[in-house]
Amino acid sequence: MVWFTEYQTENVGLTIKAKEVKTINSKYQEIIVLDTEEFGKVLVLDGAVQTTEKDEFMYHEMLVHPALIKHPQPQRVLIIGGGDGGSVREALKHKSVEEVHLCEIDEEVIFVSEKYFPSISSKLRDEKVKIFIEDGNQFLEERKNYYDVIIMDSSDPIGPAEVLFQESFYKKVKSSLRKNGIMVAQTESPFLQEKYFKNAVKEIKKVFKYVGVYTGFVPTYPAGMWSYTLASDDVNVLDNVNKDRLDNIETKYIDEYLYTNLFAIPKFIKNMIE
């Protein structure tokens, strides 16, 4: 047994006991797979926990389903990042979706996920899915007015991923959306990563007319509190529409009641973004 610690801030860490540790060095980062009693297998990229078998559904369901439910008829979906495949799996639960493009810069993350996380990566080779091993920022420059929903399933805004949290990037996202297009991004922990959270929401608000922030629990993420931001120029994402679609989607976290109250966030978070 070994103890692994993710240093989530300079003063806070998450420590997990692992039965086995596998390390793979890709072209871009260090990839670690932990085999643990508490969370099952855990995927770690450059020292930061990305997903675990036990709590991944909490993150992927909350990231994906609100955007696809609010869109009138989502057919084309782009996921930037998300090489573990969890967002792909959730997007394909929507019957109207005809194609899912996954843009992941590090192909090794996909290979590792398919080998060690089959329950998460199970839909990566679905006939509706096309995988692009490219930088998300450059990828969008070549695709205009194409997608109905764009999902930002990126890592923390550090290093190469930093550009994915800036106004210039969100403008590219906007130009790649069709009419009634919706974007959703994971926007970090408002409790332990306040600086990153506030900046991401601020940059998104500069670009899109309608913006809504919501939160959810992910036990292995910093503070266990995670944020997501929906945005669109054509669809008022704050409206509670199409909630009956959840009746036809198998979920473990989000339900009709949670969806209806999606934007009921704590007062201290409202104060941050206002």
Do residues 117 and 43 make contact, with C-beta atoms less than 8 angstroms apart?
yes
pLDDT at 2 over 80: yes
**pLDDT tier at 58, thresholds 50, 70, 90:** very high
Residues assigned a catalytic role: 153
Closest by CA position to 184, among listed 232, 139, 223: 232
Taking CB atoms within 8 Å and a gap of at least 24, the contacts of 207-211 are: 207/167, 207/170, 207/171, 207/173, 207/174, 207/231, 208/170, 208/174, 208/183, 208/232, 208/233, 209/233, 210/235, 210/236, 210/237, 210/238, 211/237
Structure pTM?
Answer: 0.96
**Distance between alpha carbon 65 and the CA centroid of its chain, in Å?**
11
Closest by CA position to 228, among listed 96, 103, 87, 128: 87
How far apart CA 83 and CA 88 sit, in angstroms, is 9
Structure tokens at 43: 């995927």
Q: Which domains does the chain have, with CATH numbers?
A: 2-52 (2.30.140.10), 56-273 (3.40.50.150)
pLDDT tens for residues 137-188? 899 988 999 999 999 998 765 555 556 668 889 999 999 999 999 999 999 9
Strand 177-186 and strand 210-217: pairing? unpaired
Q: Which residue has the tokens 């020292």?
A: 47
How far apart CA 260 and CA 254 sit, in angstroms, is 10
